[in-house]
Amino acid sequence: MEIVSILETASMTMCGIAVILWMAIGTLARFEGGEILTQRIVAGLCIISAIMLFLLHYMGGELWGSRNVARPFALIAVIVAITGMLNIKGKDVQGESNPHQIMKMRAEEKENKD
């Protein structure tokens, strides 16, 4: 049963780290290299967590007192990994300007007026 306990702790820790990095992506996106690296780390952590969660389920482990929670969480981790990689090359997927681009455009307009 010791390996099941280790899997539970490791998978939840990795998911937690991925969530923290996901929330910090706005700060890390100021540099293109930082954004790409963070996205890859989040995707990697999510995939490894999903594998651990599937193993935990099939080894009879439990999360928060339920044996059936690990599989849906593993699926969510895979979905987060896939969606996290959609914007991997710094391209704007939605086609909208981000706040940094708007600030740059305003600064350029201000310089052109002067």
Report residue 41 as tokens: 């780390």
pTM of model > 0.75: no
- List pLDDT tens digits, range 10-43: 888 888 888 887 777 777 777 767 777 878 888 8
- pLDDT of 94 reads 46
- Cα separation, 112 vs 98, in Å, equals 21
Contacts of 75 (CB under 8 A, 6+ apart): 50
**Helix (H, G, I), strand (E, B), or coil: what is residue 66?**
strand
- What residue spans define the domains of the chain? 2-113
The predicted pLDDT at position 32 comes to 65
Rounded Cα gap, residues 100 and 2, in angstroms? 49
